[in-house]
Amino acid sequence: MSKDELVKFEESIRDRIYSIRGYQVMLDSDLAELYGVEVRVLNQAVKRNQERFPDEFCFQLIISEVPELRSQIVISNKAKNSLRSQMISTKKGGRRFQPYLFTQEGVAMLSAVLRSDTAVKMSIKIMKAFIEMRKFIQANGQIFQRLDRVELKQIETDKRIDQVFEIMESKDRIPDQGIFFEGQIFDAYNFVSDLFRKAEKSIVIADNYIDDTVLIHLTKLKAGAQIKIVTKSVSDQFRLDLKKFGEQYFPIEVKVSKVIHDRFIIIDGEVLYHLGASLNDLGKKLFGFTKMDRSALMLMQDNL
């Protein structure tokens, strides 16, 4: 995809983000198109994993909200008619179904439950588009009819965190410490992805609440890097996820340990980061991260 095509693609994603109930959301039909699956398949995957999609991740549009959503769809009449076709049945004028809406957290979780190469690759592009969306909101916030509480917090605190974001988006350096605020799902995700990309030889992840969302990060690693995960327990489902991942990419060593409480990442046996949030909860609440010194690294390696 050329640079111009990538820019147009990211713009098309931003055009599909709407504000409902104080959240920024995307329609299930738009996400299904981006992921290359039927809407039915996408929603079935969500229903099979309902525990991963609480109301703040995914909720169903109600009839009274249709005018509010339609007023935001300014791309074309075709788009408005597409939405209307989802709400109105051809039989007796009754409702056929009400579309599902996914928040930023829900979009991130979708890539994990759909379990396809296309979903993984597309999720990365969508995340990059959301990062650009943040910048767009900062410069043109007035064009949105409503700003959710997360966006307001981001705008109010921009002066304090601009330096962190500039470092995060740099290809040359990862920040030594910083804070992510509630709702910065994709920014936190991007930070961890950049951290993993720095690995040349190995990564050790200590996290008691690890799940298959970490595997998306690991697809970005350079060939030959050795991966070790330390966690308090391994479910049958995650064991299966690891097996399938290893069949396509590379094997991952897993160690069960009940002596570690916090979350840590060790890169190439030389760099140690402490995270205030588990990898499957990045950005859901305010948390900090810190690069630790050599003495702490040596202590951690002795326990891993």
CATH code of 164's domain? 3.30.870.10
Measured in residues, the chain has a length of 304
What tens-digit pLDDT sequence spans the chain (304 residues)? 676 776 777 778 878 888 888 788 889 988 888 888 899 999 999 999 999 899 888 999 887 787 777 667 654 444 445 554 554 433 344 434 578 998 878 888 887 888 777 777 777 777 676 666 666 655 555 444 444 444 545 555 555 555 555 544 444 467 888 898 888 888 888 888 888 888 889 999 999 988 888 888 888 787 778 999 999 999 999 999 999 999 988 899 999 998 888 999 999 999 999 999 998 888 888 999 999 988 888 888 777 7
Do both 163 and 291 map to the same domain?
yes
Which residues have a Cβ under 8 Å from the Cβ of 204 and sit 6 or more positions away?
A: 228, 229, 230, 264, 265, 266, 269, 304
Asked whether residue 256 is domain-assigned, the answer is yes
Do both 164 and 61 map to the same domain?
no
Question: Side chain identity at 6, as an amino acid letter?
Answer: L
Range of the domain at 216: 159-303
Do both 283 and 203 map to the same domain?
yes
Termini Cα distance of the chain: 41
pLDDT for position 273: 94
Do both 81 and 214 map to the same domain?
no
Of 72, 97, 124, the residue at which a domain comes to its end is: 124
pLDDT for position 157: 53
Determine the 3-state secondary structure of 82 from DSSP: helix
Asked whether residue 176 is domain-assigned, the answer is yes
CA separation for the pair 60, 55 (Å, rounded) = 9
Asked whether residue 179 is domain-assigned, the answer is yes
pLDDT for position 153: 52
Asked whether residue 277 is domain-assigned, the answer is yes
pLDDT for position 88: 43
Do both 16 and 62 map to the same domain?
yes
Of 101, 124, 147, the residue at which a domain comes to its end is: 124
Do both 92 and 219 map to the same domain?
no
pLDDT for position 143: 47
- Tell me the whole-structure pTM to 2 decimals: 0.45
**How many angstroms separate the Cα of 68 from the Cα of each of 73, 88, 146, 215, 304?**
9, 16, 11, 37, 53
Q: Which H/E stretch holds residue 202? A: strand 202-206
User: Taking each helix axis from N to C terminus, what angle separates 117-140 and 185-197, rounded to the nearest 10 degrees?
Assistant: 120
Do both 107 and 191 map to the same domain?
no
Do both 272 and 180 map to the same domain?
yes
Asked whether residue 212 is domain-assigned, the answer is yes
Do both 92 and 184 map to the same domain?
no
Question: Side chain identity at 156, as an amino acid letter?
Answer: E
Contact between 213 and 109 (Cβ < 8 Å): yes
Do both 119 and 163 map to the same domain?
no
Asked whether residue 131 is domain-assigned, the answer is no
Residue 68's nearest CA partner among 146, 7, 15, 183 is: 146
pLDDT for position 84: 47
Do both 87 and 167 map to the same domain?
no
Of 75, 101, 124, the residue at which a domain comes to its end is: 124
pLDDT for position 229: 94
Asked whether residue 154 is domain-assigned, the answer is no
Asked whether residue 187 is domain-assigned, the answer is yes
Do both 43 and 105 map to the same domain?
yes
User: What domain count does the chain have?
Assistant: 2
Burial annotation 250-287 (CB, 10 A radius, 16+ → b, else e) = eebebeeeeebeebbbbbeeebbbbbbbbbbbbbbeeb
pLDDT for position 144: 46
CA separation for the pair 72, 69 (Å, rounded) = 5
